[in-house]
Amino acid sequence: MSVANVMKMVKENDIKFVDFRFTDTRGKEQHVTVPVSHFNEDKFTEGHAFDGSSIGGWKGIQASDMQLMPDPSTANIDPFMDEPTLILTCDVVDPTDGKGYDRDPRSLAKRAEAYLKSSGLGDTAYFGPEPEFFIFDSIQWDVAMSGCSVRINSEEGAWASNEKFEGGNTGHRPGVKGGYFPVPPVDSLHDIRSAMCTTLEAMGVPVEVHHHEVATAGQCEIGTKFSTLTQRADWTQIQKYVILNTAHAYGKTATFMPKPFAGDNGSGMHVHQSVWKDGKNLFAGNGYAGLSEFALYYIGGIIKHARALNAITNPGTNSYKRLVPHFEAPVKLAYSAKNRSASIRIPFVHSDKARRVEARFPDPIANPYLAFSALLMAGLDGVQNKIHPGEAATKDLYHLPPEEDAQIPTVCASLEQALEALDADREFLTKGGVFTNDWIDAYIALKMEEVNKVRMTPHPVEFGLYYSC
């Protein structure tokens, strides 16, 4: 969409406010709003000034002045605001040099796409994430010196069969690992997901499917179409915004937290990806599962750098409560066409155009701009250095004999371990200035704050283990 078309959109829809949005390091969208009387074509060339010093992991107070540069192609009307409001996704620009700020995730994603082209290996990278999420009726938690607690309230929860609800307990709910995927009334969230899909389509994000997921207590998935790296990250942010706000409008609460409760499946974000050049899918070939040598080397790069990738694709302490060996989580660093226990899967497709690989270990609290860029950089490093991933996995990796199990590498077991891996294995990310050492250092420091906060807080389980010792 051109600037002229955006201005036409403002006029035709009687827009009252314009909302400038950007994404912080942790992946959370931030915004600042101006009345339409203070919005004109100059905003697309001069930008909108804001203070970047309050954003976690960004510049300090001594260098806080930043510019939001709106992208006219992202213009959308917000479906949740009372007053007609136009949304514009922005790049963050450092006014001292006019370039994309090196810690701005969207600017970093654009650098990754530029690096792909400059490398000569390809000209387009396509990504298709599958972020899972939960919808609860309500959530309560408390973290205090006197103790910690959390309570998830869900009429869909397998634990709710003996609870009293206003209007009565219907008794229809999915059991543990029973959510995939009975019809209503067991699936009580069909209409909410349909409302989410309708809104996503209206905002330009093509929807391909929606369904209940495996876990009890409202685990869901909405499948949306693949696209180029930066646009697909933009769409993922729209998807999260729509899911969170639609649930809120229905009087419920949605979360992308990977493991909100024990005893059932956590939420992942499987990421499909492929690299193209001159209109040709470079992943298609005559090798294993129809893959090219290029694709196999790409897989090799992801496997080699997986532990460093974990710091970005699995960026929370909670992420590693999902990635636990022997509990049907994609922790084994192997690849397979049919084996979903491998961390890299090659989906069955009917044409070479659809040939792709699927990384199964990422989760939905990952910042999509950073996660997609990091996966691309790891894959390209594999191609450049011809890192072959070895033989494909044919056995069920969840139930291997101990001696075989020990031979297959795994993802990290904690965020702290992942940050250590990132610190030690960062060169593949800094090629072409896509990620910078300054960014990596700031990111590690930001995430270690989270590690230490959890590390210093006693867990209720520990009382069961140690109180009477």
Assess contact for 344 and 357: CB atoms under 8 A: yes
Q: How would you classify the pairing of strands 332-336 and 342-345? A: parallel
Express each pLDDT in 175-224 by its tens digit.
999 999 999 999 999 999 999 999 999 999 999 999 999 999 999 999 99
State the Cα–Cα distance between residues 271 and 376, nearest whole angstrom: 11
**pTM of the complete model beyond 0.85:** yes
Number of helices and strands in the chain (H, E): 13, 19
Q: What is the pLDDT of residue 60?
A: 64
Enter the tokens of residue 393: 């996995």
Q: Model confidence at 325, in pLDDT bands (50, 70, 90)?
A: confident
SS3 of residue 430 by DSSP = helix
In sequence order, which ranges of 145-227 are alpha helices (DSSP H)?
A: 190-202
Residue 344 has pLDDT above 80, yes or no: yes
Least confident piece of the model among 33-37, 50-54, 334-338? 50-54
User: How would residue 341 be classed by pLDDT, with cut points 50, 70 and 90?
Assistant: confident
Confidence of residue 61 (pLDDT cuts 50, 70, 90): low
CA 56 to the chain's CA centroid? 18
Residue 339 has pLDDT above 80, yes or no: no
Q: Which amino acid is at 92?
A: V
pLDDT at 5 over 70: yes
Cα–Cα dist 105/109, whole Å:
6
Among candidate residues 152, 150, 151, 148, the one with its CA nearest the CA of residue 453:
148
Characterise 357 by phi-psi region: left (phi > 0), alpha (psi -120 to 50), beta (else). Answer: beta
The tokens for 6 are: 């955006």
Query: Is the link from the previous residue into 181 a cis peptide, with omega within 30 of 0?
Result: yes
Rounded to whole angstroms, what are the CA distances from 37 to 2, 41, 69, 406, 414?
Answer: 20, 12, 18, 65, 49
Nearest residue to 126 via CA among 355, 290, 366:
355
140: phi > 0 → left, psi -120 to 50 → alpha, else beta; which? beta
| Gap between the Cα atoms of 387 and 323, Å rounded | 25
Predicted local distance difference test score (pLDDT) of residue 62: 53
For 232-265, how does the pLDDT look when each residue is reduced to its tens digit (9 = 90+)?
Answer: 999 999 999 999 999 999 999 999 999 999 999 9
Q: How confident is the model at residue 80 (pLDDT cuts 50, 70, 90)?
A: very high
Q: Using only the alpha carbons of the chain, give its radius of gyration.
A: 23
Nearest to 35 by CA among 58, 8, 60, 17: 17
| pLDDT, the chain, mean | 94
Q: Are strands 17-23 and 85-94 parallel, antiparallel or unpaired?
A: parallel
pLDDT digits (tens, 9 = 90+) for 385-415: 999 999 998 877 777 788 888 888 999 999 9
For residue range 305-316, list pLDDT tens digits in order. Answer: 999 999 999 999
Kindly provide the residue ranges of all beta strands, DSSP E only, lying in 53-98, ordered along the sequence. 65-70, 76-77, 85-94
Which parts of 235-385 are beta strand (E)? 253-255, 269-277, 280-281, 332-336, 342-345, 357-359
Comparing 61-70, 235-244, 370-379, the range with the smallest average pLDDT is 61-70
How confident is the model over 37-51, as pLDDT tens digits? 999 999 999 999 988
d(CA 86, CA 71): 12
H or E element at residue 151: strand 147-153
Which pLDDT belongs to residue 51? 85
**Which is nearest to 50 in space by CA: 70, 65, 63?**
65
CA-nearest of 236, 245, 220 to 134 is 220
Is residue 107 classed as helix, strand or coil in its secondary structure? helix
Q: How many angstroms separate the Cα of 147 from the Cα of each of 35, 138, 144, 458?
A: 45, 21, 5, 8
- pLDDT at position 337 over 80: yes
Task: Tell me which residues are annotated as active site.
Answer: 51, 130, 132, 213, 221, 270, 340, 358, 360
